[in-house]
Structure 1
Amino acid sequence: MCAASVLVVDDSVTMRALIKHALSRDPDIVVVGEASNPFEARDKMKQLDPDVVTLDVEMPNMNGIEFLEKIMTLRPTPVIMVSNLTAPGAAATLAALEIGAFDCIAKPSARETMFTELPGLIKEAARAKAGMAKRRKGGAAPRHAVGEPARDRRMHLPDLVAIGSSTGGVEALMQVLSEFPANCPATVIVQHLPAAFTGSFAARLDRVSQARVVEAKGGEPLLPGHVYLAPGGQRHMIVKAGSRPSVALVESETISGHRPSVDVLFTSIAKNFGGSTCGVILTGMGRDGAQGLLEMRRAGANTLGQDEESSLVYGMPRVANEIGAVARQLPLGKIAKQIFSGG
Structure 2
Amino acid sequence: MSKIKVLCVDDSALMRQLMTEIVNSHSDMEMVAVAPDPLVARDLIKKFEPQVLTLDVEMPRMDGLDFLEKLMRLRPMPVVMVSSLTGNGSEITLKALELGAVDFVTKPQLGIREGMLAYSEIIAEKIRTAARARLNASKVASAPPAPLARMPLLGSEKLLAIGASTGGTEAIRHVLQPLPLGCPAIMITQHMPAGFTRSFADRLNKLCQIAVKEAEDGERILPGHAYVAPGGECHMELARSGANYTVRLLHGDPVNRHRPSVDVLFQSVARNAGRNAVGVILTGMGGDGANGLLQMRQAGAYTMAQDEASCVVFGMPREAIALGAVDEVVGLQNIGQRMLAQVSKGQALRI
Please tell me the TM-score bracket, short chain as reference: over 0.9
Matched, 1:119 2:124: yes
Q: CA deviation at 1:299?
A: 0.9
Amino acid at match of 2:183: C
Aligned to 1:168: 167
Contact 1:156 1:341 in 2 (8 A): no
Matched, 1:35 2:35: yes
Q: Deviations over 1:15-59 (max 9, x none)?
A: 111110111111110112222211222232233221100000111
Unmatched tracts of structure 1, length 5 or more: none
Q: CA deviation at 1:106?
A: 1.8
Q: CA deviation at 1:141?
A: 5.7
Matched, 1:266 2:266: yes
Q: CA deviation at 1:142?
A: 4.5
Aligned to 2:190: 191
Separation of aligned partners in 2, 1:271 and 1:329:
23
Aligned to 1:286: 286
Unmatched tracts of structure 2, length 5 or more: 343-347
Contact 2:161 2:266 in 1 (8 A): yes
Contact 1:100 1:168 in 2 (8 A): no
Separation of aligned partners in 2, 1:187 and 1:61:
42
Q: Deviations over 1:86-112 (max 9, x none)?
A: 222122112212322121112243222
Separation of aligned partners in 1, 2:262 and 2:224:
21
In structure 2, the CA distance between the partners of 1:236 and 1:167, relative to structure 1 (3 Å rule), is same
Contact 2:165 2:283 in 1 (8 A): yes
Contact 1:82 1:106 in 2 (8 A): yes
Q: Deviations over 1:241-275 (max 9, x none)?
A: 33121111122221111111110110001011111
Matches within 5 A, 1:42-53: 42-53=42-53
Separation of aligned partners in 1, 2:35 and 2:151:
49
Aligned to 2:24: 24
Q: Deviations over 1:161-207 (max 9, x none)?
A: 00000111111111111111111100000011111101111001111
SS where residue 278 of structure 1 aligns? strand
Matches within 5 A, 1:80-95: 80-95=80-95
In structure 2, the CA distance between the partners of 1:135 and 1:273, relative to structure 1 (3 Å rule), is closer
Identity over aligned residues, as a percent? 48
Q: CA RMSD in A?
A: 1.9
SS where residue 101 of structure 1 aligns? coil
Contact 2:163 2:280 in 1 (8 A): yes
Matches within 5 A, 1:241-280: 241=240, 242-280=242-280
* Structure 1 runs (4+) greater than 4 angstroms displaced: 153-158
Separation of aligned partners in 2, 1:42 and 1:335:
38
Separation of aligned partners in 2, 1:251 and 1:11:
37
Matched residue count: 336
Contact 1:163 1:280 in 2 (8 A): yes
Amino acid at match of 2:125: G
Q: Normalized against structure 1, the TM-score is what?
A: 0.93
Q: Normalized against structure 2, the TM-score is what?
A: 0.91
Matched, 1:57 2:62: no
Contact 2:152 2:182 in 1 (8 A): no
Q: Deviations over 1:48-91 (max 9, x none)?
A: 22110000011112211121122222222111111221222122
In structure 2, the CA distance between the partners of 1:263 and 1:97, relative to structure 1 (3 Å rule), is same
In structure 2, the CA distance between the partners of 1:283 and 1:141, relative to structure 1 (3 Å rule), is closer
Contact 2:142 2:170 in 1 (8 A): no
